[in-house]
Amino acid sequence: MPRIDSKKFYLSAIDKHGLSPQGVNWISQETQDLRFKILLELLPTNINTLVDAGCGFADFYMYLQNTQHCIKKYIGIDSLAAMCTIAVQETSQEIIQADITKDALPQADYYVCSGAMNILNPFEAHLFIRNCFKASSKAFIFNTLYGDKQSNTYNYMSMAQIQAIAKDLHVKRLEIKDNYMKNDITVAFFHV
């Protein structure tokens, strides 16, 4: 079970901040953009299919529109119906409502996730990572809170936890970026 009720967590943020990075509980547009920039550094410039796991308003899709990256097919997945509705309205892309920890996921070259695991408990985060990695053919790239901190709200992952999950999933290549923001890490699990 999540540490907190994710529906209340996100819907209260939307009520308070509207369609903004704060509406999906990011601190600011700048921190959201920095995380997106780091994700892009680990992706090739041409991609056939990309799934944005925990897409929220599909802000990553909008960010991609202003880059040199060519994504032939974008799919967003979110567990909240309100997020899915807004993402479809904002992007006209395929958006799927699903629980990534347990539902069947579409196959894609790349899966990305920016912050959606931050309020899951460690077991759920492991399931989330496993399902996204198994549904990707090339890589799953994600950012998450980093460190050994204990929180009643947020899930922090340690390097030992990340490496243990990579070993369990038989990740062929692991890339990590952790020098861009305090208590944040971006991880790429590659199949090759």
Whether 29 has a pLDDT exceeding 80, the answer reads: no
* Of the candidates 66, 36, 27, 56, the residue with the CA atom closest to the CA atom of residue 154: 27
Whether 50 has a pLDDT exceeding 50, the answer reads: yes
Identify the burial level of 192 via C-beta atoms within 10 angstroms of its C-beta, where 0-12 means exposed, 13-18 middle and 19 or more buried.
exposed
Residue-averaged pLDDT of the chain? 89
User: Is residue 180 domain-resident?
Assistant: yes
**Beta strand ranges found along 40-147 (DSSP E):** 46-53, 70-78, 94-97, 108-114, 136-146
pLDDT for 118 equals: 87
User: Is residue 80 domain-resident?
Assistant: yes
User: Is residue 1 domain-resident?
Assistant: no
Number of domains observed in the structure of the chain: 1
Residue 26 and residue 7: Cα distance in Å, rounded? 16
Whether 20 has a pLDDT exceeding 60, the answer reads: no
Range(s) of the domain holding residue 50: 6-190
Residue 13 and residue 83: Cα distance in Å, rounded? 12
Whether 5 has a pLDDT exceeding 70, the answer reads: no
Whether 23 has a pLDDT exceeding 60, the answer reads: no
39 DSSP assignment = H
Whether 57 has a pLDDT exceeding 80, the answer reads: yes
Residue 19 and residue 86: Cα distance in Å, rounded? 9
Q: 189: how many CB neighbours lie within 10 A of its CB?
A: 24
Identify the burial level of 104 via C-beta atoms within 10 angstroms of its C-beta, where 0-12 means exposed, 13-18 middle and 19 or more buried.
exposed
Bridge partner list, 177: 186
Question: For the domain that residue 166 is a member of, what is the CATH number?
Answer: 3.40.50.150
pLDDT for 2 equals: 47
pLDDT for 108 equals: 98
Whether 24 has a pLDDT exceeding 80, the answer reads: no
